[in-house]
Amino acid sequence: MGLERGELKKNWLSIVLSIFILSFFSPGEPAFASEKRNIFSRFGRDFKYIFTSPLRLGKSDVLPLSAILLGTCGLMALDEDIRDSVQDSGSNSWDEIFSFSKQFGDGRATLSIAGIFYLAGEIFHDEKSRDTGVSALESFIFSGIICQTLKVLAGRSRPYREEGSGKFYGPTFDNAKLSLPSGHATVAFSLASVIASEYDSLLVDISAYTIASLTALSRVYHDKHWTSDVALGAVIGTLVGRAVVYQNKKENTENTGIFPWARAKEMGFEVGFAQKF
């Protein structure tokens, strides 16, 4: 029990640490398109965008949301059969693959990768790399909050407790009863979706989502989650990651363009156009 509580605390501490890291960026740093914007204000803007999104749902969102709900429920009906098949397929090769891939669902790995992207952007003056690092950090925080909240509210028993896939306790902080959704899957797909959305490359897409998928599958293989847990976590991470990148690309686009200018001179004045990036 002490170990399980420690893992739960680690998840929340990773989110809090990420928010704390953001506060160290200088409020006056012109890191993005507008000199008046900064990373911390961007965080606040994107936080509002993500967590007010339910208020913007329309008729066109009914079908995809229904598909997510029905898909998750459908997998729940198959969870125990899938678990039995996966547990029977263990091998040394799979042990090594999944032991490695599960690390990408650890918040520390995500923070490290986000930091590498950001620092590379600063060193090489690569705005896309810098944006990727910040978006990865934001996505980790936002999807983590959603995931951890759902875990606590659902209180689903983890498979290794041998209580069946339909055992839900309701609100709880007992980590052994926080199976739905999978935090590792959420984290892995939030990072993968950010990288894939920022870099328009099929190779990047395949690499990012393959690693994320192996991370999610490792949780089923290690009997920590049901298949429906990792599927829902993957959906949450992907939706949040893509939404964060979409919002910031939209913001950057709105802050670019050609603008007229004028200035006074001793013998008259000058007019012209300037491009804003």
Cα four-point dihedral sign 53, 54, 56, 61: positive
Per residue in 91-146, pLDDT tens?
A: 999 999 999 999 999 989 999 999 999 999 999 999 999 999 999 999 999 999 99
DSSP string, 153-171: HH-BPPGGG-S-TT-B--S
**Cβ pair 46, 244 in contact under 8 A:** yes
Per-residue confidence (pLDDT) for residue 251, from 0 to 100: 78
Among 213, 2, 19, 240, CA closest to 104? 213
Work out the average pLDDT over 69-85.
97
Work out the average pLDDT over 220-239.
98
Per-residue confidence (pLDDT) for residue 200, from 0 to 100: 87
Q: DSSP character for 76?
A: H
Residue 277 has pLDDT above 80, yes or no: no
Residue 217 has pLDDT above 50, yes or no: yes
d(CA 90, CA 223): 11
Q: Bigger pLDDT: 18 or 178?
A: 178
Helical ranges in 55-126 per DSSP H: 62-88, 92-101, 107-124
Per-residue confidence (pLDDT) for residue 255, from 0 to 100: 56
Cα four-point dihedral sign 23, 27, 33, 34: positive
Residue 25 has pLDDT above 90, yes or no: no
Q: Which residues contact 169 (CB under 8 A, 6 or more apart)?
A: 155, 156, 157, 177
d(CA 256, CA 45): 18
Percent residues over pLDDT 90 in the chain: 71
Q: Tell me the domain boundaries of the chain.
A: 2-53+61-276
Q: Bigger pLDDT: 246 or 31?
A: 246
Q: Give the angle 77-81-83 at the CA atoms, nearest 5°.
A: 110
Work out the average pLDDT over 233-243.
98
Length in residues, the chain: 277
Q: Give the angle 178-20-35 at the CA atoms, nearest 5°.
A: 130
Residue 257 has pLDDT above 50, yes or no: no
Q: Angle 183-198/202-221 helices, nearest 10 degrees?
A: 180
Per-residue confidence (pLDDT) for residue 39, from 0 to 100: 78
Residue 171 has pLDDT above 70, yes or no: yes
Q: How confident is the model at residue 254 (pLDDT cuts 50, 70, 90)?
A: low
